[in-house]
Amino acid sequence: MDTLPADFFPAESFDTLASYCRSVCVARRLSNLIDNFKDEWLAQDAGLDRYSKLVKLREVEVRNLLATARALRLTNQSRYRPTKAGTLASTPNFQKPWE
C-alpha cells in the first residue's frame, strides 16, 4: 500500500480498505496456524477436523480478501486498460543486459 499515492483511496472507500486490511490479518493468522500444525495431530480425528476447518476458514477469508481487493481496484487487471496493456508489455521498464 505504501507504493500508492496518498489520494489513491477516496474517503468513501475507507470502510472497504479497513475490511481488506482485516482480511489480510485474518488470512495471515490462519496460514500461520496451518503452517504450524503438527503432522502427528492429523492422526487423531479431532486434529484432522481442526485442520480441515482451518483450511476452509482460510479459503473463505482469501476469497473475501480477493473480493475487497477487486472492489478497491488493487488487482493488476483493474489497473490496466486494454489499449495500454500491449504498449506496457512491449516497452520493458528495465535495461536490457546487452545494453
pLDDT at position 91 is 66
Residue 12 one-letter amino acid = E
Amino acid 5: pLDDT: 80
pLDDT at 3: 76
Q: What is the pLDDT of residues 46-56, one digit of tens each?
A: 999 999 999 99
Lowest mean pLDDT among 7-11, 41-45, 94-98: 94-98
State the chain's mean pLDDT as an integer.
85
At 51 the pLDDT is 97
